[in-house]
Structure 1
């Protein structure tokens, strides 16, 4: 099976300072986090006024396709129950 993202839900995790989203590989749920720092560097986040949470969620929504592509690459390199994506993953 391949990693898919059928559920568009995402949330801001204050403890991790990251946006949390879920992928699915068949029946298996895979948790992903993308650090706020990785999203804050995007043009979308930079143009937005407001809280860090609002900026990160807005940037995530704007970059969703590329974030999912990067998540798939991370997952393909080694399957784990959760992944944290950083700014380095976007280079």
Structure 2
């Protein structure tokens, strides 16, 4: 089977400082985390934590296509149940 992303939901994982989203390979779920540095949006936000989280999620939404492409490539190289995508994965 191939990796698909039928569910557009995503969330911010404060512990990992990354946006989390889910892919599916048939009936198997595959978790992906995109580090905020890979989104190009990191640093201090005047509005605090909530503003930063919204900025990360908006950046993810704007880059969703390339993020899902990178996730598919990572999954094709080595099939696991969890991945962390870093900025080097988008070069």
TM-score, with length taken from structure 1: 0.88
More helix, by proportion: 1
1:54 matches 2:54: yes
Matched residue pairs, number? Answer: 86
Which 4+ residue blocks in structure 1 deviate beyond 3 angstroms? none
Distance 1:52 1:80 in 2: 30
Distance 1:56 1:78 in 2: 27
Q: Which runs of 5+ in 1 are unaligned?
A: none
Q: Which runs of 5+ in 2 are unaligned?
A: none
TM-score, with length taken from structure 2: 0.88
Maintained 8 Å contact 1:34/1:84: yes
Deviation per residue, 1:45-81 (Å, 9 max, x gap): 48x9752211110000001011000000000000011
